[in-house]
């Protein structure tokens, strides 16, 4: 009779372990995806910075900038 509770406990522990493995895989996938998003955002920020610099240069050439 003592074997039944042990088996039930082992079964439950194995289920918990399997679920934790799936959660670990999901977290890993999310980290990979988040890294990709961050890299994309960094690239967009660089592009916006370059556009801003070019716009400033154009405004300066056309004397559209205010003296600060």
In the numeric block, which tokens belong to residue 7? 């088996």
**pLDDT tens digits, one per residue of 32-49:** 999 999 999 999 999 999
CB-based contacts of 58, cutoff 8 Å, min separation 6 = 64
| Percent of the chain predicted with pLDDT > 90 | 82
pLDDT at 66: 77
Contact 65, 59 (CB under 8 A): yes
pLDDT at 3: 57
Computed on alpha carbons and rounded to an integer, the radius of gyration of the chain in Å comes to 28
pLDDT at 6: 73
What values do phi and psi take at 63, rounded to 5?
55, 45
Task: Find tokens 């522990």 and name the residue.
Answer: 13
pTM of the model: 0.66
Least confident of 1-5, 17-21, 25-29: 1-5
């Amino acid at each position: 009779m003592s074997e039944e509770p042990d088996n039930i406990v082992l079964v439950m522990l194995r289920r918990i372990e399997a679920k934790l493995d799936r959660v670990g895989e999901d977290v890993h996938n999310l980290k990979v995806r988040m890294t990709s998003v961050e890299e994309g955002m960094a690239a967009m920020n660089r592009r916006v910075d370059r556009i801003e610099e070019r716009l400033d240069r154009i405004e300066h050439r056309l004397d559209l900038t205010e003296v600060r």
